[in-house]
Amino acid sequence: MVVCVCNAIKEKDLRAAVRSGSDKPSAVYAKLGRKPKCGQCLSYARGIIESEVASA
Ligand code: FES
């Protein structure tokens, strides 16, 4: 499932970046070599990041 349409970031890529040590959207996107553009995805991305951090 795509989390960020602007950057074509998939949920599995987001979760992998969190597992490798990033815990904020800006850090996670940077880890993937991207940065937020429109910002529409950020609250959804935050939720996924929190759930991945909680399950670590
Ligand atoms: S959907 Fe992620 S920055 Fe636009």
What is the rounded average pLDDT of the residues 36-54? 97
pLDDT (tens digit per residue) in 14-41: 999 999 999 999 999 999 999 999 999 9
Q: Which pLDDT belongs to residue 35?
A: 95
5 C-beta closer than 6 A to ligand 1: yes
Nearest CA to ligand 1 atom 2: 4
pLDDT > 80? residue 3: yes
Domain boundaries, position 24 = 2-54
Residue 56 pLDDT: 75
Cβ 37 under 6 angstroms from ligand 1: yes
| Ligand 1 proximity of 4 Cβ (cutoff 6 Å) | yes
Q: What secondary structure, in 3-state letters, does 1-56 show?
A: CEEECCCCEEHHHHHHHHHCCCCCHHHHHHHCCCCCCCCCCHHHHHHHHHHHHHCC
Report the alpha-carbon distance of residue 49 to residue 55 in Å, rounded.
10
Number of structural domains (the chain) is 1
Q: What is the CATH number of the domain that holds 26?
A: 1.10.10.1100
With a 6 Å cutoff on the Cβ, whether 35 touches ligand 1 is no
